[in-house]
Amino acid sequence: MTNTAVIVPRRADNGWRDDIWNHCRTRWEAAGHHPIEGDHDDGGPFNRSAALNEAAADHVARAADVLVVIDADIIIDPDRVGVGIAEAHRTGRVVFPFDKWLNINRPGARAIVDGYDGNWWPYVDLTMDATCSSCVIIPRPAWDDIGGFDPLFVGWGMEDVAFLVAARTTCGIHRIPGEVWHLAHDSQPRTPVHYDANVERLRRYEQADGNRNAVLALSREHLRDEAGEHGTTPHHDDEGDIPPPPPSAR
């Protein structure tokens, strides 16, 4: 059996988001997983990447063969997640165990949290195809190679797309058809200065897409910054010696 750790970025709100997470966490626990929560609170906007990197540094997560990155507001078929874990471990690729994102409106989300187990589809008010957040299954070697999620994205948005670019370029990705259900809540406000900076940083990832050295220079930039603060130099073997995967592996 593959040694797996589920990690989730979290900041408590003492309200509806906590109610959603308590419900979703119970589902993960019923499937045999015990999510590791990563928090980030430096007085500024919530940094999803920093929270995930904190969770991934937990001793249980460090010993895992595969990390399952989840958001605290989603429900997904645990059997399909299990298939994705096996695929990620076998191939070394990053796996998205869904191809359709479904938003359940507030009345539906409230009903589900309160125990409703009927048809959820009437509550769906938005669908999106092939998104790259919600649930991402990552072999630990791929996580370490990429350097985790990029915390230089601050506040809302773009860090998930940047990780997709990094994964596609360095190890390849695979997607399994199926749904992921998102329980509606108030959105994190966008701070224009941070959002604009995130868009600009993502543009650099998009320009580097397919170039392993260029992508890793971006995705591991925060590790060099952190190492500089501690007077050490991060080591990454043979960055220039491993070509990107062929298109068929992406």
Q: Which of 27, 8, 214, 218 is nearest to 112 (CA)?
A: 27
CATH number at residue 118: 3.90.550
The pTM score is 0.89
Residue 51 has pLDDT above 70, yes or no: yes
d(CA 36, CA 22): 13
The answer to whether residue 157 is domain-embedded is yes
The answer to whether residue 140 is domain-embedded is yes
The answer to whether residue 108 is domain-embedded is yes
Q: Quick one: pLDDT band at residue 41, thresholds 50, 70, 90?
A: confident
Give the mean model confidence (pLDDT) for residues 223-229: 71
Name the E strands within the chain: 4-9, 36-38, 66-70, 74-76, 94-96, 100-104, 124-129, 135-139, 173-175, 179-183
> How confident is the prediction for the chain on average, in pLDDT?
90
The answer to whether residue 222 is domain-embedded is yes
Exposed e or buried b per residue across 86-123, where buried means at least 16 C-beta atoms within 10 angstroms of its C-beta: bbbbeebbbbbbbeebbbbeeebbbbbbeeeeeebeeb
Q: Which of 47, 94, 93, 48 is nearest to 71 (CA)?
A: 48
**Which pLDDT does position 234 carry in this prediction?**
43
Q: Are strands 179-183 and 74-76 parallel, antiparallel or unpaired?
A: antiparallel
Q: What are the tens digits of pLDDT across the range 131-182?
A: 999 999 999 999 999 999 999 998 878 999 999 999 999 999 999 999 999 9
Across the strands, what pairs with 9? 38
The answer to whether residue 97 is domain-embedded is yes
**Domain ranges, residue 237:** 4-241
Q: What are the tens digits of pLDDT across the range 77-103?
A: 999 999 999 999 999 999 999 999 999
Q: Quick one: pLDDT band at residue 241, thresholds 50, 70, 90?
A: very low
Instruction: Report residue 201 as tokens.
Output: 């940083």
Residue 74 has pLDDT above 50, yes or no: yes
**Which pLDDT does position 239 carry in this prediction?**
37
The answer to whether residue 246 is domain-embedded is no
Q: Quick one: pLDDT band at residue 235, thresholds 50, 70, 90?
A: very low
**Which pLDDT does position 227 carry in this prediction?**
65
**Which pLDDT does position 248 carry in this prediction?**
35
Residue 250 has pLDDT above 60, yes or no: no
Give the Å distances, CA to CA, from 48 to 7, 34, 37, 85: 12, 19, 11, 22
The answer to whether residue 247 is domain-embedded is no
The structural domain count of the chain equals: 1
